[in-house]
Structure 1
Amino acid sequence: MHRCKRLAPSLARSALGLGLAALAFAPVGAAAQAESADPIKLTLHDWTGQLITTQIMGEVLQKAGYNVEYVQADYLAQFAGLKTGDLHVAMEIWETTGREAMDE
């Protein structure tokens, strides 16, 4: 448990660094015409790693020309929204807590 607490900030910094590097090296003219003006809905949860990876993905999608909407979602309740298409992307899903919902 203590080891996980020490690793979390390091992993978050690494993810942020990788995301920023990807944005920095993306060609300026890479933004193409998006297939749809409808927003891609990314779920937000209340843990740091998920918030960071979701923001990075949102920036990448926006740079590619897509509209992005961030939606605060309950972790287990999000699966119904993903199934119906009301939500589009969940950047982190834990198999230990979401396996049953993912299988539906």
Structure 2
Amino acid sequence: MTDPFLTLGIEPDAEDATVEAAYRAAIKRCPPERDAAAFQALREAYERVRTRDDRIAYRLFDTEPPAAIDIIRQAATHGSNADAADPAVSQAASRPTPALFAALLRGED
């Protein structure tokens, strides 16, 4: 299943009114008479994230966990700027802390 936030063109933290407005705009662009499959995809996306509680539940339970390489890349971008002249310092400083890894695994930045 595709990401309902991408399908509707909204952010995961969008308000209910924003979600409804995005859905209404999308069905005007793609009415069921023109493309029934696309309309069904829009409808399913809207149903999955219609309310704040639905969006929270989707983000908690219906999303795939991030790939390990994505976690590692994200952790690397959080590293401090180490002294490049000392490779030992540079290597140690570029490693993410266990707390950062745990936060990234939970989906936090």
Higher relative contact order (CA 8 A, sep 6+): 1
**Normalized per residue, which structure has more helix?**
2
Structures share fold, TM-score greater than 0.5: no
User: Under a length normalisation based on structure 1, what TM-score does the superposition of the two structures give?
Assistant: 0.26
**Normalized per residue, which structure has more strand?**
1
Higher-Rg structure is: 2
User: Under a length normalisation based on structure 2, what TM-score does the superposition of the two structures give?
Assistant: 0.25
